[in-house]
Amino acid sequence: MPPILSVVVPMFNVEEYVSLCLESLLAQQLEDIEVIVIDDGSTDGCRAVAHTWACKDSRIRLLTQRNAGLSAARNVGIRAARGQYLAFCDSDDVVPSTGYASLVGSLEATGSDIASGDVRRISSAGAHPHPGYKDAFAYDRRRTHIRRYTALVRDRMVWNKVFRRTFWDAKNLTFALPAYEDAPVMMRAHIEASAVDVLSEVVYFWRVREKGEPSITQRCEEPDNIAACMRMVLDAFEVITALAEELIAPYADDMCRGDIRKTLHSLRMHDDVTLRDALLLARSFVMSVPTDVIRALPPKDRKLMELLIRNDLAQIRRILES
């Protein structure tokens, strides 16, 4: 019989962390799961570690591909998955033992298409709330929807969720971007779902890597990564504009206070030429933001967005350095 839940785990050069990840998945209260690990051409010893775990527990299936990126690895895992429900876990992160039981149990009870739960950022210093999720997961909400509960525009990651597989397949959801790939897919999933369960329970621990290669979110100040983040902002915006115009304002507000603000602040570290691609993408987005959203921003953010629209990078830098 197929398992109740398939967990897709893309893996690339995480030898220091993958054992903790797999151990947490095999310790789930929901035992009827399969764990599909996709080695995306790792060059460290993590494949050998995953192979050892697969030999210990038949619920782990290890697949291997040439390095093709996180999106491609996840898509391979989706095609191999047999479960009634589908989840994703990054191979350096950890899922608390009740996480999947709570998410799947909610979907079984409500019939919703997606269940999503709260997240903690973890490091050697302990576990800390993720500020972007503070409001969205303050209370349980069963059979809600992003059109009614617009705080879910901030719920843009894939790994704190369980999806009904029939929903995923019916909407033909797939990952495409080479980096920051979650947001466009998750915004479309939220919009096209019939209903979504929101759990205040912490269902995922998102790691700050302190050993080995830093994660892409820990390299967010690198110019290429900044540009990749801006492509994500625009791709998710296109999804929202096409499918749910009422979400344009809350999404644009969150981006202007978040990723666009971070991109402009990177002018303190990089010159205009180095940030050219990122700034062009950021300006393209802000020029599409409704003027009432810009006017409602805090004064400093409002000024920065207005200067970006005018392409006055010198004045932006003067404000940031003052």
Enter the tokens of residue 217: 């979110």
* Mean pLDDT over the full length of the chain: 94
pLDDT higher than 70, residue 191: yes
pLDDT bin (cut points 50, 70, 90) of residue 224 is confident
pLDDT bin (cut points 50, 70, 90) of residue 322 is confident
pLDDT of residue 213: 62
Q: What pLDDT digit, counting tens, does each position of 269-295 carry?
A: 888 889 999 999 999 999 999 999 999
Residues 130/175, Cβ–Cβ less than 8 Å:
no
Stated as kind and residue range, the H or E segment containing 12 is: none
Q: How far apart are CA 100 and CA 87, in angstroms?
A: 9
Q: Which of the given ranges, 93-97, 119-123, 125-129, has the highest pLDDT on average?
A: 93-97
Please provide residue 185's backbone torsions phi and psi, each rounded to the nearest 5 degrees.
Answer: -70, -40
Q: How far apart are CA 193 and CA 243, in angstroms?
A: 12
Count of helices and strands (H, E) across the chain:
13, 9
**C-alpha closest to that of 152 among 110, 107, 183, 121:** 183
The CA-atom distances, in angstroms, between 262 and each of 4, 140, 154, 237, 256 are: 40, 31, 16, 17, 9
pLDDT higher than 70, residue 83: yes
pTM: 0.94
Stated as kind and residue range, the H or E segment containing 50 is: helix 46-56
The CA-atom distances, in angstroms, between 124 and each of 17, 179, 180, 208, 254 are: 13, 26, 25, 9, 29
Q: What pLDDT digit, counting tens, does each position of 85-110 carry?
A: 999 999 999 999 999 999 999 999 99
Enter the tokens of residue 90: 């990054």
Residues 91/177, Cβ–Cβ less than 8 Å:
no
Q: What pLDDT digit, counting tens, does each position of 194-220 carry?
A: 999 999 999 999 998 776 565 455 445
Enter the tokens of residue 283: 């300006």
How are beta strands 114-123 and 5-11 bridged, if at all? unpaired
pLDDT higher than 80, residue 168: yes
Mean pLDDT of 214-235: 77
pLDDT bin (cut points 50, 70, 90) of residue 236 is very high
- Could you tell me the sign of the dihedral formed by the alpha carbons of 115, 13, 178, 173, in that order? negative
Q: How far apart are CA 87 and CA 95, in angstroms?
A: 11
Q: What percent of the chain has pLDDT over 90?
A: 86
Residues in CB range of 256: below 8 A, 6 or more apart: 286, 289, 293, 294, 297, 301, 305
